[in-house]
Amino acid sequence: MQRALELSLLLSTSLCNCDDSYHMASAADRDGITQEIEAVPASEGKKNKVESIGPEQLQQDLTSMNLSEVYEALVEVGFNDYEKALHLDDEIWQSLKDDNSHIKLTKFLIAKKFITKKCVQASSCIEILLFLSHYKEEAAGEARQMKDKLFEKLKQKHPSITKDRLFLDSDNLPRLSVLLERVKKTQNVIFILTKGFFSRPWCLLELLVATNEGKNLVPVKLVSVQRGFDFTRQRQYTHELSSYLDEVNPGAVQSVQEQGFEIAQVQDAIRMLMDIIAVELNFSNPEHVLDAQFDVIISKLI
């Protein structure tokens, strides 16, 4: 998991990481690299996903640029598609170059920049590392503390990360209509589970979009006497979700349906989330215990 998180953070910095090696090339070589990169078609719509650009497309693109030897080198080390190639760090790229001739170096630098640019275009650059889903009335303060603490810990390991890659609606949401789009642009969704979490239509919608989009789900059970989440009781509510929602929050069912979802889909999504072992988080714990609980949450990020 930790390695996956490190690789995911490369997406926002990979364009910068290759600059040092780029400047190692001669002026003429750099001109050649610039021309090749500028030739990358801009028609790779941002709605495409990196995963859709597979081995065949990578081979075809590199071969058309007379870079077939780069593709062969990538295949040898098991990084033969766009997504994997994007996540190669500088050490691996360096190991692929078996000599330091200007021609060889230039070819690999062209390939690296080409792959980075095309993947960023295609993936729409996953903007958000994690999204904090919570019921404001029950967990607004804790969500704020979680964002601050998680950022502090992530910053220690990844100095280049910025706080805007941790989404909290009170900080990052310009208007409610774009909320679900933000879920689609995140990698991890942390669900702060409290007593009334599943009674809120927007919490349910965030869960539905996250499961439909295949996001990494991280349930966190907030330990609280008055607001504590009860798994056994929630499983009972889920079985008759429509009745439960009509009782505790009239209009919630309609809000979900207006977004194109049915209650059966909500039930499946809730069960999927509750099948994942939740991290317990208690802000009343001593600092060292709380610190360890946050380390567990970070270990679950990808």
Distance CA 6, CA 92 (A): 14
Question: How many CB atoms neighbour CB 160 within 10 A?
Answer: 11
Contact call for residues 130 and 142 (beta carbons, < 8 A): no
With CA atoms as reference, report the closest residue to 236 among 203, 277, 198, 192: 198
For the chain, the domains span 2-123, 128-299
Radius of gyration of the chain measured on its C-alpha atoms = 23
- Residue 302: the pLDDT is 81
Cβ-contact 90, 21 below 8 angstroms: yes
The predicted pLDDT at position 191 comes to: 98
pLDDT in tens, 5-17: 655 554 444 433 4
C-beta of residue 294 within 8 angstroms of C-beta of residue 149:
yes
Q: Which two tokens stand for residue 101?
A: 């001739």
Answer yes or no: are the C-beta atoms of 84 and 90 closer than 8 Å. no
3-state secondary structure of 168: coil
Determine the pLDDT at residue 210: 94
Round to whole Å and give the CA distance between 187 and 300: 12
Write out the two tokens for 107.
């070819």
Determine phi and psi for 45, rounding to 5 degrees: -55, 145
Least confident of 49-53, 193-197, 243-247: 49-53
Q: What is the pLDDT of residues 99-140, one digit of tens each?
A: 667 777 778 878 887 877 776 555 444 568 899 999 999 999
Compute the half-sphere exposure of residue 126: CA atoms within 13 Å on the CB side of its CA. Answer: 24
State the Cα–Cα distance between residues 285 and 291, nearest whole angstrom.
9
Per-residue model confidence (pLDDT) at position 203? 97
Measure the CA–CA gap between 132 and 153, rounded to whole angstroms. Answer: 16
Q: What is the topology classification, in CATH, of domain 128-299?
A: Rossmann fold (3.40.50)
256: its two tokens: 């979900």
Say what percent of the chain tops pLDDT 70.
75
pLDDT at residue 206, as a whole number: 97
